[in-house]
């Protein structure tokens, strides 16, 4: 008998789906169960029923999994930042690796033996960047992380005024509390994207392995209130003497991205300096950089391992961002050429290459999303590293790679499903030889993957 909405079923959770829900099998049908872990026996309420699958929420824990542990954070279950704090870390890692292998098989149509997953060197206080959101609700100002949405609900979850977070440095929480108190006392409202009224939008805190700290406050472009942000910056610099930079930028677009459009005020340096392994980097307010510095070294070392460089190669680094991968690999190859759509990121890539004394790195603003373009005039590549956003490669990028046809492609991805799709797009000319899950985000459902594709 098919499952229906509001049915109450008892089931055993067999695995974890990408996204953090448990997976059970009921009469051959996959049931995705929120708030359930592998090994749990639960009573679950069906909230959505389709022909091929159903979704449910665990209402009663009949028998707990042997992998369950006590979550560390008081906000766990309310905050949307962590989904897996109650699952022991070794099992988190095993489940994430299984998700990658499953996606490559189901979507990519390939059964590749997975290399052992790479664990994060630290599972607490590993984040070098935290993004907090302001919100106006019930007549008050809130600043923190988004709450966890109930199963089946879509949209923007309300902001939770967190008082602790074990993924970032303790100092980040001190800064958060001070900014929240200052902004409440200012009497100026938080921005509401629905009405486009209000002022305060985002707080971003970055710190590096070298001990440098940047606080970035994003507001609307209402210049009448800018003096308040300057006062906030001065108060933060006075209290937190380790602060390297304070930046105020404005944003007029309605979208809730934590990216500033115009720098309005600055104290301290224009960029902070990060170190991953032997490489150093300049990080500006809007620069994308891996949020787990120690984990990034594991990720980059896997790319180096898969590349098997002998020092004679020309490496093409696509979606290169601020040049993190290219700069790290530059001592192993003859030449690095990076392409990225963001002018600000390319400027930081050149700056980081100079910081490391590298003379074999070139970077250009460009994209393969519209085809080969200027790449037709560049030299032949021995290897391509491609690290696209979560949505994966643009279809035209995949076609361009098939035209370039380098001997090797090392694909890096933060979404197993889009990686598997891209592997399938390239399968006419490329065979996947190796893949490894690299955990950069303990206690969350996210996972990075590195895959080696070799031309047939």
Alpha-carbon gap, residue 338 to 318, rounded angstroms: 6
Considering the candidates 168, 320, 361, 414, report the single residue annotated as catalytic. Answer: 414
Say if residue 138 carries a ligand binding annotation: no
* Strands 430-438 and 15-16, sheet pairing: unpaired
Residue 290 annotated as binding? yes
Residue 340 annotated as lining a ligand binding site: yes
Alpha carbons 412 and 310: distance in angstroms, whole number: 21
The sheet with strand 335-340 has its strands ordered as 361-365, 335-340, 314-318, 383-386, 408-413, 448-455, 430-438
Measured CA to CA, the distance from residue 390 to residue 413 in angstroms comes to 7
Active site residue 414: yes
Strands 383-386 and 361-365, bridge-based pairing = unpaired
Q: Quick one: CA torsion of 96, 101, 102, 107, rounded to 10 degrees?
A: 120
Which pair of structure tokens corresponds to residue 256? 């809730």
Give first-to-last CA distance, the chain, whole Å: 47
281 labelled binding-site residue: no
| Catalytically annotated residues | 414
Instruction: Extract the annotated binding site for S-adenosyl-L-methionine.
Output: 290, 319, 340, 387
Instruction: Extract the annotated binding site.
Output: 290, 319, 340, 387
């Amino acid at each position: 008998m098919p499952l229906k909405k509001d049915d109450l079923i008892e089931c055993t959770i067999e695995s974890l789906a990408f996204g953090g829900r448990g997976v059970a099998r009921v009469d051959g049908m996959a049931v995705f169960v929120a708030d359930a872990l592998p090994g749990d026996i639960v009573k679950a309420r069906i909230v959505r029923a389709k022909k091929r699958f159903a979704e449910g929420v665990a209402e009663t824990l009949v028998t707990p999994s042997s992998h369950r542990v006590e979550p560390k954070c008081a906000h766990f279950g309310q905050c949307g930042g962590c989904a897996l704090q109650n699952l022991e870390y070794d099992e988190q890692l095993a489940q994430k690796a299984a998700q990658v292998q499953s996606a490559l098989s189901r979507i990519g149509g390939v059964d590749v033996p997975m290399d052992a997953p790479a664990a994060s060197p630290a599972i607490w206080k590993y984040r070098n960047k935290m993004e907090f959101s302001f919100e106006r609700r019930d007549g008050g100002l809130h600043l923190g992380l988004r709450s966890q949405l109930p199963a089946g609900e879509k949209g923007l979850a309300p902001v939770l005024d967190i008082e602790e977070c074990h993924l970032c440095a303790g100092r980040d929480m001190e800064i958060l509390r001070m900014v929240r108190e200052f902004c409440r006392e200012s009497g100026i409202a938080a921005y509401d994207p629905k009405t486009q009224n209000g002022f305060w939008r985002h707080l971003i805190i970055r710190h590096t392995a070298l001990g440098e700290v940047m606080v970035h406050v994003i507001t609307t472009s209402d210049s009448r209130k800018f003096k308040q942000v300057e006062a906030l910056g001065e108060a933060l610099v006075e209290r937190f003497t380790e602060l390297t930079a304070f930046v105020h930028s404005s944003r007029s677009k309605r979208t809730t991205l934590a990216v500033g459009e115009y720098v309005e005020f600055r104290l301290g340096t224009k960029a902070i300096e990060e170190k991953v392994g032997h490489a150093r980097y300049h990080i500006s307010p809007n620069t994308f950089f891996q949020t787990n510095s120690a984990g990034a070294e594991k990720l980059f070392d896997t790319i180096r391992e898969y590349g098997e460089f002998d020092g004679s190669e020309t490496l093409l680094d696509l979606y290169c961002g601020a040049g993190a991968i290219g700069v790290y690999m530059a001592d192993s190859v003859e030449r690095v050429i990076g392409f990225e759509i963001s002018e600000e990121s390319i400027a930081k890539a050149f700056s980081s290459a100079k910081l490391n004394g590298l003379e074999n790195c070139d970077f250009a603003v460009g994209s393969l999303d519209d085809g080969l373009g200027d790449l037709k005039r560049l030299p032949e590549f021995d290897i391509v590293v491609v690290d696209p956003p979560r949505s994966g490669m643009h279809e035209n990028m995949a076609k361009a790679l098939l035209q370039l046809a380098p001997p090797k492609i090392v694909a890096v991805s933060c979404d197993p499903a889009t990686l598997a799709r891209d592997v399938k797009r390239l399968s006419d000319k490329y065979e996947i030889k190796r893949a490894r899950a690299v955990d950069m985000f303990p206690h969350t459902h996210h996972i990075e993957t590195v895959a080696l594709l070799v031309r047939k």
